[in-house]
Amino acid sequence: MGNEAHGAGLPGGHPRSPRTGLARRTTEGIRQPVRSGSSRGELMRLFVAIAPPVTVLDDLDVLAGPLRPGRQDLRWTSREAWHVTLAFLGQVEESAAARLLPRLERAARRHRAFRLAFSGAGAFPAATRANVLWSGLSGDRGALAHLAESVAAGARRAGAPPPDKGRRFQPHLTLARCRMPADVTGLVAALAGYQGPPWTADRIHLVRSRLGATEHPRYITLGSWPLRPAEQDPGPGGPGAPGS
């Protein structure tokens, strides 16, 4: 989930929905204008993310759920809004957001779907004085990093550069935030051995975060673009095999 805050209130989002909240998109591709209640020139708080399958999030939630009651000093993120942030863009002008849509579409077309899994845990900046508790990712982290680079490059060209330029990309899913630095060493240890089921990252989402009266923002998915299909292993004797 990167640098973006998380909360309930996604359109149609529900913990047992067949899709995650981010997958409930307003449009397929770029055919719908970027409005979503915005007046011309209004700033929109945006991020680009991957939405893991609901069954994968269910598995992680089974492990994280029993830990929450014992640490009510933390702000646990909303399960139905869990996602992996590729780029947090911050406040973006509507005109820049409109230019961003085709660039995200092109970025998605340049990358193939790839496999990931949630694995282990950690904290920012450190477990003994944490502001964020997170679950990490294993699998094709190289493909994930390259996709994040393409998304960030497209955002810069559209005039919506990520504000954390220069910071090393650290893929993760935020489980909890801390108002004041907290010691989460025990939680990191409890989650350290976790290895979730593998899943395929095959789509990116442009999401608007609207802050309301509560501490949890409402998410509105402005666009969604599929990655190219993953390469298939031809197997013995298949195309490209020796002697074929």
- SS3 state at 187: helix
Which DSSP helix (H) or strand (E) runs through 122? Answer: strand 114-124
**Quick one: tokens of 226?**
């599929």
**Rounded to an integer, what distance in angstroms lies between the CA atom of residue 72 and that of residue 186?**
14
111: left (phi over 0), alpha (psi -120 to 50) or beta: beta
Residue 112 is given by DSSP the state B
In this predicted structure, which of 5-9, 170-174, 209-213 has the lowest mean pLDDT?
5-9
Q: Would you call the peptide bond into 171 cis, given omega within 30 degrees of 0 as the criterion?
A: no
How far lies 175's CA from each of 138, 229, 238, in Å?
A: 17, 30, 43
> How deeply is 162 buried, as exposed, middle or buried, from its count of CB atoms within 10 A (0-12, 13-18, 19+)?
buried
Q: Tell me the fold of 21-226.
A: Cyclic Phosphodiesterase; Chain: A, (3.90.1140)
pLDDT score for 211: 76
Per residue in 140-165, pLDDT tens? 999 999 999 999 999 999 999 999 87
- What residues are labeled active site? 83, 172
Residue keyed to tokens 């944490």: 130
C-beta separation of 179 from 129 below 8 A: no
- SS3 state at 81: helix
**Rounded to an integer, what distance in angstroms lies between the CA atom of residue 45 and that of residue 59?**
30
222: left (phi over 0), alpha (psi -120 to 50) or beta: alpha
Q: Is the pLDDT of residue 238 over 80?
A: no
Q: Is the pLDDT of residue 223 over 50?
A: yes
Q: Is the pLDDT of residue 6 over 60?
A: no
pLDDT score for 232: 62
Residue keyed to tokens 């359109």: 11
Per residue in 28-84, pLDDT tens? 333 344 554 544 568 999 999 999 999 999 999 999 999 999 999 999 998 888 999
pLDDT band for position 136 (cuts 50, 70, 90):
very high
Q: Is the pLDDT of residue 12 over 70?
A: no
Residue 225 is given by DSSP the state E
**Quick one: tokens of 145?**
């990093």
Q: What is the sign of the dihedral through the CA atoms of 183, 184, 188 and 190?
A: positive
pLDDT score for 90: 95
In this structure, the chain runs to a length of 244
Q: Is the pLDDT of residue 104 over 80?
A: yes
Half-sphere exposure of 232 (CA within 13 A, CB side): 6
